[in-house]
Amino acid sequence: MFGRHVVNALTRYCDGDLSPADRQRVDAHLVTCVRCRSALEEIQFSARLVQQLKVVSAPPLVWDRIEETLSASSRRHSRSYGWGLGPGPWGLGVRWAFAGALSLVAVASAYWMTRETTPRPWAVTRASDNDTRRMAAGEWVETGSGSRARIIVGQLGTVDVAAETRVRLGKVSESEYRLSLARGTISAEIDAPPRLFIVDTPASTVVDLGCAYTVTVGDDGAGVLRMTKGWSALEWKGRQSLVPAGAMCRTTPVTGPGTPYFEDASAALKRAVDEFDKGTNPSQALEVVIAEARVRDTLTLWHLLSRVDAPDRVRVYERIAQFEPLPAGITRDQILALDAGALRKWREELAWKW
């Protein structure tokens, strides 16, 4: 029925005229097809605009002027030359009429050509007037001290833009929706396959793994990610931090993503992690983290395995092993050698407690 794309079914989809089975097929297709999502957004955007239009009558003065002009023209040109384009007043009038019509066609064509060659895949709503407009990649969404906005991420979710925030709209493709947060705070709620939604910051890249989160960036470029649902990965120059729901992680332009910890961890552990990441007495800070760690804080310890020197790695490993033994087939030497496969399998077991 639909073929490779579902564009022809989108009007009925918006009107609720599809059967439940066909609607489910369209929903599934929209998740992975940026072309059809863009077409749906155009239909929805146009529908919202039409709903906002008001029907008004032209002022009486307009109709009076039209009648006066027509009457004057009729009196001046009592002799008619028909509809030919030959000499005479009506021939000239017809030529002007055709010229005017062609001009309108040219203007309309130029408008639609410009519109088509300048894709505007983003929809942005300002909270102040609830006005929604289409915006292109490369444009900025900026809010003042008393304003907010919402960015519609296709069919994937929304990004709420807090006051005093500057966000650049980025690339949109079948495999990626991308934003850049220069400063301020955004709250994203995304329901999509992993790595489809990405936010760049001056100190890290937030890669969505199916989640809801808030990320804040200060004037110095440093930031903090707080997860409320699902997972995100912070990535920067080969360094990665995995942050699950309930956890947070700081970032700095110098070192990128820091070490994540749960927000319900002890104040001493959180303070020690921040000091470790800053390089302030790292050995002493590590002692505090190891001493304060609970089962759930193996999230923090697992990340520290690859961020401490070899002698300290043994201590971190032994503390994690007290909470969760190694999976079958994984050895102590593999973990201490930072074998990527072994670390991943141990993390998958530990994550049940995160």
| Tens-level pLDDT at each residue, the chain (354 residues) | 566 688 788 888 878 888 877 876 776 676 556 677 767 767 766 665 555 555 555 555 555 555 666 566 555 555 444 434 344 443 444 444 444 444 444 444 444 444 445 678 999 999 888 889 999 999 999 999 989 999 999 989 999 999 999 999 999 998 999 999 999 999 999 998 899 999 999 999 999 998 899 999 999 999 999 999 999 999 999 999 999 999 999 999 999 999 999 999 999 999 999 999 999 899 999 999 999 999 999 999 999 999 999 999 999 999 999 999 999 999 999 999 999 999 999 999 999 999
Q: Do residues 158 and 45 both lie within one domain?
A: no
Left if phi > 0, otherwise alpha if psi is -120 to 50, otherwise beta: which for 345?
A: alpha
Q: Do residues 307 and 331 both lie within one domain?
A: yes
Residue numbers of the domain that contains 282 = 265-354
Residue 232 domain flag: yes
Q: Do residues 217 and 322 both lie within one domain?
A: no
Residue 75 domain flag: no
Tokens coding 16:
């609720």
Picking from 225, 258, 291, the residue at the C-terminal end of a domain is 258
Which pTM does this prediction carry? Answer: 0.69
Instruction: Identify residue 108 by its one-letter amino acid code.
Output: A
Q: Do residues 144 and 234 both lie within one domain?
A: yes
Q: Do residues 249 and 305 both lie within one domain?
A: no
Q: Do residues 108 and 197 both lie within one domain?
A: no
Instruction: Kindly provide the residue ranges of all beta strands, DSSP E only, lying in the chain, ordered along the sequence.
Output: 122-126, 131-135, 140-142, 149-153, 157-161, 166-173, 176-190, 197-201, 204-217, 223-236, 239-244, 247-252, 256-257, 261-262
Q: Do residues 349 and 269 both lie within one domain?
A: yes
Domain count, the chain: 4
Q: How far is CA 99 from the centre of its chain?
A: 46
Cα–Cα distance for residue pair 233/244, rounded to 1 Å: 9
Cα–Cα distance for residue pair 354/352, rounded to 1 Å: 6
